[in-house]
Amino acid sequence: MKYKNLFILITIFFLANSCVEIIDDLTLNSDGSGTFKYTLNLSASKIKINSILALDSLDGRKVPSIEEIKQRVNHFKSKLESKSGITNITLESNYSDYIFKIKCDFTSLIALQNAIHDVIIEENLNKNIKELTENWVTWDGQKLIRNIPEFTFNKKKEFSETEIEQLKLGKYTSVTRFDRPIEKFVNNNAKLAPSKMAIMLQTNTYSLIQNLNLLENTIYLSPLKKD
């Protein structure tokens, strides 16, 4: 597989063959620090996943064993722990229901993106990955721009009718939380929390693969209060 990064590996391999739920949850403080959480939930398809894992290969690609996935879990965490600006990393792996969760704190969004960029590049032996030159989150203290990384999904694959139905059952949810109210946002499909301190975008995985722009959003916050 092209990407050895744990969550990209699992997402790409099982995405078209299973009902998958993905949640990315970003909490951003006014100083640019925050917490990032990413959940990959394949529990709705655990019987099918077990049948896939029993195979040697699928569609010409080697099927990773549970032991290989566990090794990638530990390797991914240790790699991320070595990156500057990333702390308090926790990684939960449920191999009965196939639910994977990662959480980390970051000193800045630049530190978070650099850490993910570096790990992917290192895992791919420093190969040039064009999509990594693009930022998927930018923050200027007043405005946040979010999108979905191009490398998250293998969009070039031709899907069968069965795979399309599985993808339509899948769900991607993007949540962004702040420490001060949201003033306005540009994506009309976004849902603002009653507190105005959080916003959510959601779509099915098939639609997202066809158009990553569905979860793009520019969010403007209320001005910082002066002391």
- Residue by residue, DSSP assigns 155-210 as TTSPPPHHHHHHHHH-EEEEEEEESS-EEEES-TT-EE-TTSSEEEEEE-HHHHHH
Highest mean pLDDT among 19-33, 64-78, 140-154: 19-33
Q: Is the pLDDT of residue 147 over 70?
A: yes
Q: Is the pLDDT of residue 102 over 80?
A: yes
pLDDT of residue 60: 74
Distance CA 103, CA 93 (A): 12
Amino acid at 222: S
Q: How confident is the model at residue 153 (pLDDT cuts 50, 70, 90)?
A: low
To the nearest whole number, what is the mean pLDDT of the chain?
A: 81
Rounded (10°) angle between helices 66-81 and 109-123: 130
- Residue 56, H or E segment: none
pLDDT of residue 210: 79
Distance CA 29, CA 188 (A): 24
Indicate the range of 17-26, 30-39, 74-83, 117-126 predicted with least confidence.
117-126
Kindly list the structural domains of the chain, giving each domain's residue range(s) and its CATH number in brackets, ordered by start.
6-221 (2.60.40)
In the chain, % of residues over pLDDT 70: 79
Rg of the Cα atoms in the chain: 18
Highest mean pLDDT among 134-138, 157-161, 171-175: 171-175
CB 15 within 8 A of CB 205: yes
Distance CA 125, CA 46 (A): 32
Q: Is the pLDDT of residue 28 over 80?
A: yes
Q: How confident is the model at residue 178 (pLDDT cuts 50, 70, 90)?
A: very high
Name the pTM for this structure.
Answer: 0.83
Q: At 6, list the tokens.
A: 């744990």
- Residue 146, H or E segment: strand 143-146
